[in-house]
Amino acid sequence: MSVGAGEIVAVIGPNGAGKSTLLKSVIGILRVTSGHVLLGTDDVTNHPPEELARRGVGYVPQVQDIFEPLTVLENLEMGGYLLPPARVRTRIDEVTQVFPALTSMLKRRADKLSGGERKMLAIARVLVLDPRVLILDEPTANLSPKLADNLLQEQVRRLAEMGKAVLLVEQRARAAMQVASWTSVLVSGTTRLEGSPGELLGRPDFEELFLGAGTGLKPSSGSEEEER
């Protein structure tokens, strides 16, 4: 599996397929026991997350992706912890140009944000370090269908337009495939299908694999709780 600059690669599959485990292995949270992780031509297998952050890899986890007691501005400042203070301020200005809605929220506590605003902040916080690779774990979890579509169609797509390489794990398979340039279907820790979204949707075995026929697995619909 590879992700190039300006590409979005979506990893989909039934619950328990190993999607989040894959991302945590890439980012160095879990130990890789087979295979290699390459950043360009450099082997970064089992390198710690902080080193990967220094080398341009950003990671947005599914949960605990922001510092709730802090303000939006303080969260963005925390995102630049590896940068000199003057550079942090410059990067925050640049990131808020990408996500202008954050400008009016800078003094607001993060725990007062809606679900969609929290995800925007989580992505923006990681962007402060200006990574070349962004790894997103279930970014639409707990969002309503409307907010999920907005996040994928506007915010995630914008990351690729900025030249970032985006590796995306997502339970809303069809929504993810609408923005992805390449899709991998993971079943029981193994890539069973991969190709362009158009190619996969045209395959008769796609739905069977994704729905976990013969595995006892079913994809979750995700929470569709409406946001404040």
CA dist., res. 74 & res. 192, Å (int): 42
* pTM confidence score: 0.86
Which structural domain range is residue 40 located in?
8-65+131-210
Span 190-224, pLDDT tens digits: 898 999 998 998 888 887 766 544 333 344 444 43
> Domain tally for the chain?
1
Q: Is residue 170 part of a domain?
A: yes
The pLDDT value recorded for residue 220 is: 42
The pLDDT value recorded for residue 97 is: 94
CA dist., res. 209 & res. 178, Å (int): 19
Of 3, 60, 20, 46, which is closest to residue 189 (Cα–Cα)? 20
Q: Is residue 100 part of a domain?
A: no
Q: How long is the chain?
A: 228
Residue 63 clears pLDDT 90, i.e. is over it:
no
Q: Are 17 and 211 in contact (CB under 8 A)?
A: no
Span 121-175, pLDDT tens digits: 999 999 999 999 999 999 999 899 999 999 999 999 999 999 999 999 998 988 9
Q: Are 124 and 98 in contact (CB under 8 A)?
A: yes
**H or E stretch including 60?**
strand 57-60
